[in-house]
Structure 1
Amino acid sequence: MKKTFLLLSTAFALFTNCKNEKAPEQAQEPTKTYVEESHSFAQPNKAVITHLNLDIEVDFNTEKVSGTATYDIKNNNSNTIVLDTKYLEVQSVLANGQPTEFSLGEFNEQLGKPLTITIKEDTKTISVNYNTTNKTEALQWLSPQQTADKNHPFLFTQGQAILTRTWIPIQDSPQVRITYDATVKVPVELMAVMSAENPKEKTKDGVYHFKMKQAISPYLIALAVGDIEYKPVSDRTGVYAEKSMIEAAHYEFSDMENMVAAAENLYGTYDWDQFDVIVLPPSFPFGGMENPRLTFATPTVIAGDKSLTSLIAHELAHSWSGNLVTNATWNDFWLNEGFTVYFEIRIMEALYGNDRANMIALIGRQDLTEEIEALKDTPEATKLKLDLKGQNPDDGMNSIAYDKGYLFLRTLEETVGREKFDAFIKDYFNTHAFSTLTTEDFVEYLNTNLLQKNNITFNVEEWIYQPGVPDNQSKIVSDKFNNVEATLQKYLDQNSVEDSVTKEWTTQEWVHFVRNLPEDITTDQLAMLDNAFDFSNASNSHIAMVWFEQAIKHNYHNNNVDKNIDSFLTRVGRRWYVETLFRAFKNANRVDEALVIYKKARPNYHSVTAGTIDKLLGYSPE
């Protein structure tokens, strides 16, 4: 989420341009000038945190996390250091181990409260003793009934974009990269895992120790606690899940090592040692979250045929674009996601071929068209570089950053040639490893190291700083999708179905089939397709979601579809799916029906999802 801010200091620019090797164990970035940040109270140019030592206890009875966050700091001649907090209770603060003055500022609905701590010139550490509250937005506490096994409670965090401050007092800006250690105490029957070096089995006393030696942005600090098990896929990849899901998850993600190898062949060494995935309960609000060393994933990708594993490729790609090279502010979010979608599709192409990669890309292109149409009254929101001052940065986490960003990079690749573009991307990751960039930093690097170097003219300014999609966009073509469209038309013309044609179709082909149902399709035709393919009972979550969207849109009520839509929305908390279906209700003028379902489903949703649907449906919780 974006606006033009100050550039990095000359010293840092010189450092990143001449650096040849990555330094994953370095505790912090070199001295730099941090850019203006509208989504954090922190003033890192005055005093900045460099390392966190977290010592906390997780209490499922009170649904609180409590303990101490101790920071190593770098003081640049300031008498205060400012941390971000939201809905936290702060009991005491130490500086160099001694009590010091502190104050909490006025509450801001988006940002929370600044915690201003008095320090001295020689202050090296600060410690904050605190606990979370029942308003903490990053944490979701789940009862046993909300889990797969239904035996024990579960807890997970979601820090992106600015929610880490709701469970840890911290300088919650992506440009403040830190290393961390943690000691976490949980009930003995549960296991704790973090975005760090992780245990493979439960301890006897419920105490777990973690270390993240590579510097990461605060939104990537993550914790999950539950009755989970681990099963390796390879020496450096594996899955965590509840017992009833571990085998299915292991099968679904059995290509993880191949994905890592394919990614390394494209853009260089994987720098995080381990790549594991934890399958969370269905209320997790995203498809996946790229927490370093431990991707958080929704169970909705467990399809039984590996057809939705592009999500894992996406989160893996974040190990380079996002985790290794990070957007400096949320105005620059497209730098994380546009690169990641591009990299994801290249991984899928390397493993599964060009046809599958182009189908995934075309579905994203369709999503982009829908997003631009939804934002037609606010065209400024369709720029890659955004200005989200005064807004929740979550508002910019949509198809523009992901799919317009991808289309920009794909168009660049086709313009300069894949060989040159791949060399550029690889150098980009190597040069800026373990650092943060603004859009302006990237544009300068792009012009110097790719366009000017190869005497190429490209409309970079139009792509990044203007709304919509430029005319020179890449044209993505899929013969398989053309066949899908022809098959659909044949079925509708003949008013009958020949299912032998579709027996080998992939999930992507089925999604395209359903999404291309004509506006004037009749309920009889919907029933014909439903009876032939049992869409209303689809076990594949993506197919189910696009079918339910069509059913809502066209007021199709046959075949238990209403019951299954209700069940889907109550059980699944993935925001993309949930928002799509509730928006369909709204567009069909069926908000009253939507609210009946939503009031029942809302307690199962993470705050990220609930906040979006509250706004969409105009719902105010009591």
Structure 2
Amino acid sequence: MPLIVLAAVATAGILVIASSSTSPPPASLRTKEVYEAEAPEEEPGAPWLASLASFAQSIATKVVELLNQPVVSPAARSLPSSAPPLIGPAGAIHRNPIDEGSYANFDEITATHVSLDITVDFDSQTFRGSVSHSMACVKPGSTMAIFDYQGMEVYAEKTKVCKLKGYTPGDNMVTLQAKTEGCYWPVAELNTNLNPDIGSAVLVHLDAPCHTGDEFLITLEFETNDDQQAAMWLTPDQTVGKRQPYVLTQCESIYCRSFAPLQDTPAIKVTYDASVTVPKALTAMMSANSTGSVTEADTKTYYFICSIKVPSYLITIIVGDVEYRALDDVGRVGVVTEPGFMDAVAEEMSDLPKFFAAAEEYLTPYIWGTYTVAILPPSFPFGGMENPLLTFASPTLIVGDKSQVSVAIHEIGHSWFGNELGFARWEDLWIAEGFTVFVERKVPTLLAGGDMEVEKVDATVGNQSLLETMQDYGSAEGSPPEALDHPYNALVPVLDDVNPDDAFSTVCYESGYQLVKYLESVVGPTSFQAFLRKFVKANSQTAINVVDQYEAFVVETFPPEEASAKLATIDWNRWLYQPGMPPAELNNFTTKSGNLAIELADEFIALEGLSLPKEWESYNSWMSALRQMFLDRLNLKKDEVTRAILAKIDKAYGLTAALDPEVKSRWYPFSMKIGYEGSCAETASCGEGAAPGTCIINEAHLFASSVGRGKYIRPIYQALMDTGNEELAAAWLAENENFYHPITLIPLQRIVALE
């Protein structure tokens, strides 16, 4: 936003919140405890508004002063004599040694706050605008700031650097501009001759080496293009309401650099604010608190601020025909979705407040204020994404029987692990996912009064999924197949010159969970809960080191000999760095219901499709995880399974027409590999023209064309390739190319060998 506009806005007193209200933001949108201490709480009514008006006038005065300051003309700019030579096309720039998924030099000059001013253009399917980075000098003598970008035009000639006089929590793009002086246009270079899996870099040269304590405001202008990998642009037909277009961004892992040029790494956390201009008929929401909006003739501008520090991958936005509904009486927990989907979503998610309360009681007070889950259009690539204040979730959670709400519990757990506590590099993603899976499985146990049935069954299913993932990765070159020592089978994988998503799998979730569960077993549940609480409180909003802090806790909690004995049982090197299944067998996952699921599968196999097992009807009352165990057992013994057996199972349970996406994603590819076509085979009408719910290939096609969640559809495409249906796989992929998010599409292109 130009300074002269800011001056007009400030003088008029239209400072975001004041535009539509005469009272301060509701208490539910403020942060808690220590965060409230960072800025005095506003008094309601006229005193607050008068204070704001006075503040606005002071900003206007300062902006006018800034307009009169001399600046260096772009034509006269040059490198300072102390600057290093330009980094040329040979690509001398290197990835950061702390996080090799980023080119940013955050260990020299680091971002502390980000201000976004963007316009969302559905006609061109672009984000365009500017991003201003509040920067601090970390390494004296540094002469440039480096930012990541991908899939956009960065207008280097419009880059601006200003000296900043003290960023403070709560600043936004208006207040920051009022604290600047000595602005100039620097030499800014775009280096694109780099690893395409990681993106490009923009290098902004300072006019002089920086000193400890120096702060800068660096502004970059940009416009995204078709090569971006963060946004999913949807036509009205791809939404529930089919009235308005929709866009969402998915930034994890390294895709926020496709939304704006940033120091895109989990190693640093920033606060951020945003001004977002959208078509008037649409609503914008972000992983931040809304602070107001201004409506003009054809557009509406929304304002946001996130005053708690987050890594860049948690910055996100949705714009569409969406609405909010509270799920509790105080408006602390709620859901967002399209109006036509709201009733179904609110009913399916009605237990969310009790899950949230159980997690908070077990851990520490929730720091984010409110908790909102946005149920997105079906092309969303994951089950959920833990963006603070606006958690994303796939519509595959809305089945009608609440069987998939464990995903929602998982995302609640991320509020503490991943969001409040972070990690410095993508190799350590297990810290976020392993602890979160632990919370996901602990909450049902707490709500069941200590009954671990759900926790154990889910852990068993997870362990089987872990084994299958490791078998898919296989073994390192020269190792026997059973070794499972591929580098990606380690809890901390080796990510040399690759996109972190190449190694993204169930390993960080399930091996991570088993390590966390093992650490609990070493000290006992009560002591481990105390550790988690201390761990969170001591490290809020930082990247963490689990090993050192866990060992310190054990030493502080137990007598010396006992502490030494407990720590001696933990082989950190084996758990973290050596690939393969976890080193400690956690055999206490066995349950009576889990055994029944395995036994039922074995009985179906033994009866060879000639008759039904005695307890066959028990399947119909099982939770989703037990049904998954049943199907996983069949897959484990696939060499003994015949088409006749699958036909008997399908006739008993109607699995070809099942609603549960976990069942669909197992049943369809397994049936393809066994050669079972569905009950349509009885009438020889499989394929086009078959009755709904009877033909495997038809139902698989419908499922793969209506769901964008990669976990569910990758096995279907792989089964097509494995069964000689390569042309069909390519045709389905071409048909859905514009439906799938790039995060889903790229791995599918590899499966179908189109890349």
Secondary structure of the 1:516 match is: helix
Q: Spell out the pairing of 1:205-244 with structure 2 (5 A cutoff).
A: 205-234=299-328, 235-244=331-340
**How far apart are the structure 1 equivalents of 2:154 and 2:618?**
63
The number of equivalent residue pairs is 591
TM superposition score normalised by structure 2 = 0.75
Q: Which runs of 5+ in 1 are unaligned?
A: 1-20, 28-33
Change (3 A) 1:613 1:492: same
Q: Is the 8 A contact 1:411 1:473 kept in 2?
A: no
2:625 counterpart of 1:508: yes
* Matched letter for residue 404 of structure 1: S
1:444 is matched with which residue: 548, 555, 564?
Answer: 548
User: Paired residue for 1:163, among 246, 250, 255?
Assistant: 255
* CA shift for structure 1 position 601: 2.1
Instruction: Return the offset for 1:449.
Output: 1.6
Name the aligned partner's letter for residue 191 of structure 2: G
Change (3 A) 1:599 1:451: farther
SS in 2 for 1:230: strand
Corresponding letter in the other structure for 1:73: M
Q: In structure 1, what is the Cα distance between the partners aligned to 2:344 and 2:291?
A: 21
Among 127, 133, 137, the alignment partner of 1:65 is 127
Gaps in structure 2 of 5+ consecutive residues: 1-32, 40-95, 163-182, 477-484, 679-693
User: In the TM superposition, what whole-angstrom CA distance separates every residue of 1:553-592 from its partner, at most 9, and x where no partner exists?
Assistant: 2121122111110111111110111112222333444433
2:239 to 147, 151, 162: 147
Deviations 1:508-565 (A, max 9, x none): 1222222222312221221121122111111221111111121122121122111110
**Equivalent pair of 1:26/1:215 in contact (CA under 8 Å):** no
- Find 1:483's aligned residue among 584, 596, 607: 596
**Aligned-residue RMSD, C-alpha:** 2.1
Please report how far the alpha carbon of residue 415 of structure 1 lies from its aligned counterpart in structure 2 after TM superposition.
2.5
Q: Alpha-carbon deviations, 1:201-227, whole Å to 9, x = none?
A: 996752111110000000000001110
Matched, 1:399 2:506: yes
How do 1:416-565 residues align onto structure 2 when only pairs under 5 Å count? 416-437=523-544, 441-450=545-554, 453-454=557-558, 455=563, 456=566, 457=568, 458-475=570-587, 476-494=589-607, 495-497=610-612, 500-517=617-634, 518-519=637-638, 520-558=640-678, 559-565=694-700
Pick the structure with greater CA Rg: 2
- The 1:166/1:544 distance shift into structure 2, 3 A limit, reads same
Is the 8 Å Cα contact of residues 236 and 242 (structure 2) preserved in structure 1? Answer: yes
Closer, same or farther in 2 for the Cα pair 1:571/1:25, shift >3 Å? farther
Tell me: CA distance 1:365–1:248, structure 2 relative to 1, closer, same or farther (3 Å). same
CA–CA separation in structure 2 for the residues paired with 1:191 and 1:399:
35
1:579-590 to 2 correspondence within 5 Å? 579-590=714-725
Supply the AA of the counterpart residue of 1:172. Answer: D
Q: 1:323 aligns with which of 408, 419, 426?
A: 419
In 1, are the aligned partners of 2:159 and 2:218 still within 8 Å (CA)?
yes
| Partner amino acid, structure 2, of 1:538 | A
Contact 1:22 1:433 (8 Å CA) reproduced: no
Query: Which stretch of structure 1 is more off in the superposition, 546-555 or 351-360?
Result: 351-360
* TM-score, length basis structure 1: 0.91
The answer as to 2:264 corresponding to 1:264 is no
Distance of aligned partners of 1:387 and 1:25 in 2 relative to their CA distance in 1, 3 Å threshold: farther
Structure 1 residue 87 corresponds to structure 2 residue 174:
no
CA distance in 2, matches of 1:199, 1:279: 22
Contact 1:24/1:434 (8 A) holds in 2: no
Q: Which residue of 2 aligns with 1:39?
A: 101
Asked which structure has the greater RCO (Cα within 8 Å, sep 6+), the reply is 1
- CA drift of 1:318 comes to 0.6
Aligned twin of 1:18: none
Which is further off, 111-120 or 144-153?
111-120
SS at match of 2:622: coil
3-state SS of paired residue (2:429): helix
With over 3 angstroms needed to count, the CA separation of the structure-2 counterparts of 1:480 and 1:357, relative to structure 1, is same
Instruction: Quote the residue 2:443 is aligned against.
Output: 347
Say if 1:54 and 1:70, in contact at 8 Å, map to a contact too: yes
AA of the residue aligned to 2:131: A
* Cα separation, 2, equivalents of 1:315 and 1:276: 11
Amino acid at match of 2:185: P
**Distance change >3 Å, CA 69–CA 24, structure 1 → 2:** farther
1: CA distance between counterparts of 2:360 and 2:305?
Answer: 24
Q: Which amino acid aligns with 1:81?
A: A
Query: Aligned letter for 1:574?
Result: R
Shift of 1:594: 2.0
User: Structure 1: which amino acid aligns with 2:98?
Assistant: E
Q: From the superposition, tell whether residues 529 and 188 of structure 1 become closer, same or farther in structure 2 (CA, over 3 Å).
A: same
Alpha-carbon distance in 2 for matches of 1:278, 1:496? 45
* 1:263–1:347 contact (8 Å) kept in structure 2: yes
Amino acid paired to 2:466: L
The whole-number CA distance in structure 2 between the counterparts of 1:26 and 1:611 is: 43
Q: How far off its partner does 1:166 sit?
A: 0.8
Offset at residue 25 of structure 1 (A): 7.9
Shift of 1:488: 3.0
Q: Secondary structure at the match of 2:112?
A: strand
Q: Which moved more, 1:521-530 or 1:63-72?
A: 521-530
Identity %: 29
SS at match of 2:377: coil
1:421-460 deviation digits (Å, cap 9, x = unpaired): 11112211111110013xxx32122222226853112222
Deviation of 1:41 after TM superposition, in Å, equals 0.8
Amino acid aligned to 1:286: F
